[in-house]
A and B are shown apart, each in its own frame.
Chain A
Amino acid sequence: MSGATIARYRRVIPGFGITLGMTLLWLSLIVLIPLAALFLKTTELSLEQFVRIVTSPRVVHALQLSFGLSLAAAAVNLLFGSAVVWALVRYEFPGRRLFDAIVDIPFALPTAVAGIALTNLYAENGWLGRLLAPLGIQIAFTPLGIFVALVFVGLPFVVRTVQPVLEDLEAELEEAAATLGASRLTTIRRVIFPAILPALLTGFALAFARAVGEYGSVIFIAGNLPNVSEIAPLLIVIRLEEFRYADATAIAAVMLVASFLILLAINLLQRWSERRTRGD
């Protein structure tokens, strides 16, 4: 037999068909089909109905509260997280390793536990609440309490995302800047900061995304008063309990799309800053 041609390329490692098949099957069953149900439900509403639900005052307020406070909390985590990661990476101080491990606690701690702990802490007779009451500051059962809870859950994201980048930063970059006469502040501003900016933005985005969807840590400390301290996820749950599936779905759809858009924007921002710092 001459000139035989190999019809198709064979894979060396066995198991492609079955592993990919199982993966796709599992993925469809658990993730894709349920998410499809969500979008299917959304399409059952006419556009007019959808808009009516989504622009009702209570819904608008809940969305504003969720997104607004999440943004604020992520910003606080960006600011303080930067200080934390700088201290953990650059300085030696007693208990540094302990504090390094502590950063992971909000990530590992169940949200309900965090919720009741924070509520108890900031309630009027709690450890911190009773210190703030004389100053006229009330945290529990107000939007301020929600803010505190969101800072808690988003805390690890900025730190852990920036940490490896900062650790891998070559010392020579800073030393070169120093030999060229740059002050410490200038070096930080013009050498270090641009290098960690993409990681900072990613951490911010992750903290924000986490905060927007947060439920367990928040519903205990929030007052859950409609139009005052009611977060969007809670409103979804309430609508579900009322069997108003369409309303719940509409709010969820808005949340998903808005989060997606904001994350996309941050992603683009991040890539832009990467390109600038890398000089592509």
Chain B
Amino acid sequence: MSDQPLALPGYDSRTGYPSGMRAFRTPSMVLRQVKPASDARADPTPMRWAIIGITIAFLTLFVLVPLANVFAQAFSKGLDAYFAAISNPDALAAIELTLIVAAISVGLNLVFGIVAAWAITKYEFAGKSLLITVMDLPFSVSPVIAGLVFVLLFGAQGYLGPWLQAHDIKIIFALPGIVLATVFVTFPFVARELIPLMREQGTLDEEAALSLGASGLRTFFKVTLPNVKWALLYGVLLCNARAMGEFGAVSVVSGHVRGETNTMPLHVEILYNEYQFMAAFAVASLLALLALVTLVAKVMLEGRAAKE
């Protein structure tokens, strides 16, 4: 039990090769030390130096420098200006909207993810792989197209547009639209983390609980859930990071009205386009901080999961 690695999200169960991006790594990998290369696996020294050099240069240039730039620009006018920028009423409204949208989207997709993972891993039924493929669709669609489809449905000239106008319901250019678009793009995150793990764990524990007289719900909360808690938490974390940072899809459905329908990423865009660079980077730095916190949490979760 404790020596079984966590199943990896996105692995093609047929071939064992990755069928998608793997961001969550197995405990056995996290804890694996880089073994000193035996003679047979040692690379010639010049090659090692070259590859290490390329790696450091590439990652520094393409990742570290831009990231550092965010914070450098954010604080370029000093701490006072920084705090003024992020406590600006429009900025605060954007932060609030982002938090609300994220809370709703993550909440909905959490419930959905659990339900879908349960349906897929605890039963056999026809069409299962089709279902999994369809669930992965939002992953492979451009965020702009994600926004587009909702405009086509609910926009003023969309299929339901006239009906919505008649009933004075605003979806596009308002909160519901933003939530819908965010829910769409973050749809598979939780389920994708849960499914491989639950698939590997099988149904034995649940059968044991049922044989002892437990109801389905009790079995789920007391037996299934504790078995997947780290993967679930990680899925929620990823879902949240994406929900807060989503730009393309939300940009299409939002009205870009400052103080009202702007999330943090949109607010960053507005500030930047108005040449308020420091303020834009100040708000951006909060999002960058969120990304870093997510990554730190991921490392910690991997460590926790490894210990079990």
A interface residues (Cβ-Cβ under 8 A, vs B): 11-16, 19-20, 22-24, 26-27, 30-35, 37-38, 40-41, 80, 83-84, 86-93, 95-96, 99, 101-118, 120-121, 126-128, 148, 151-152, 155-157, 160-161, 163-165, 167, 171, 174-175, 177-179, 184, 198-199, 202-203, 206, 209, 212-216, 220, 233-234, 236-237, 240, 243, 245, 248-249, 252, 255-256, 259, 263, 274
Contact = CB atoms under 8 A, between A and B. Distances in A.
B145 A213 contact: yes
Interface in B33-57: 34-44, 47-48, 51-52, 54-56
Contacts of A13: 122-123, 203, 206-207, 210, 216, 219
A215 B41 CA distance: 42
B63 A83 contact: no
A209 B59 contact: no
A233 B248 contact: yes
B52 A87 contact: yes
A105 B63 contact: yes
Contact of A117 (B59, B180, B284, B299): B284
A12 B229 CA distance: 24
Contact of A34 (B43, B135, B149, B156): B149
A100 B171 CA distance: 42
A240 B155 CA distance: 10
Contacts of A11: 123
30 contacts: A12-B203, A19-B118, A27-B135, A30-B180, A30-B183, A37-B158, A87-B52, A90-B34, A95-B56, A96-B34, A108-B292, A110-B246, A112-B265, A112-B287, A113-B265, A117-B66, A120-B73, A121-B65, A128-B65, A167-B29, A171-B40, A203-B18, A213-B143, A216-B265, A233-B142, A233-B143, A237-B252, A245-B151, A249-B148, A249-B152
Contact of A116 (B26, B29, B272): B272
Contacts of A121: 65-66, 69
Chain B binding surface SS class: helix
Contacts of A95: 56
Given A30-B180, A91-B34, A152-B63, 11 more contacts: A88-B55, A109-B245, A109-B288, A116-B281, A120-B281, A161-B20, A164-B8, A164-B29, A171-B38, A202-B17, A215-B142
Contact of A23 (B52, B115, B158): B115
Given A87-B55, A91-B52, A152-B66, A108 B34 contact: no
A107 B242 CA distance: 9
Given A34-B153, A161-B18, A161-B22, A113 B70 contact: yes
A212 B142 contact: yes
Nearest to A216: B247
Residue of A26, A118, A256 most packed against chain B (CB within 10 A): A26
A123 to B, nearest CB: 10
A148 to B, nearest CB: 8
A104 B295 contact: yes
B153 to A, nearest CB: 5
A254 to B, nearest CB: 11
A20 B120 CA distance: 8
Contacts of A91: 34, 48, 51-52
Contacts of B119: 16, 19-20, 22-23
B11 to A, nearest CB: 8
A151 B295 contact: no
A163 B10 CA distance: 14
Nearest to B146: A34
B150 A34 contact: yes
Contacts of A22: 112, 115, 119
A174 B66 contact: no
Interface of A: prevailing SS:
helix
A212 B140 CA distance: 10
A169 B207 CA distance: 36
Given A110-B245, A174-B40, A213 B25 contact: no
Contacts of A35: 137, 149
Contact of B22 (A12, A87, A164, A213): A164
Contacts of B35: 171
A126 B68 CA distance: 13
A112 B269 contact: yes
B148 to A, nearest CB: 6
Question: Closest 6 interchain pairs by CB?
Answer: A213-B142, A110-B245, A216-B247, A215-B248, A178-B40, A14-B216
Interface string B198-226: 00000100110010000110011000000
A2 B216 CA distance: 33
B273 to A, nearest CB: 9
Interface string B45-88: 00110011011101100111111011001000000000000000
B245 A15 contact: no
A86 to B, nearest CB: 6
A31 B184 contact: yes
B261 interface: no
B141 interface: yes
A178 B39 CA distance: 9
A274 to B, nearest CB: 6
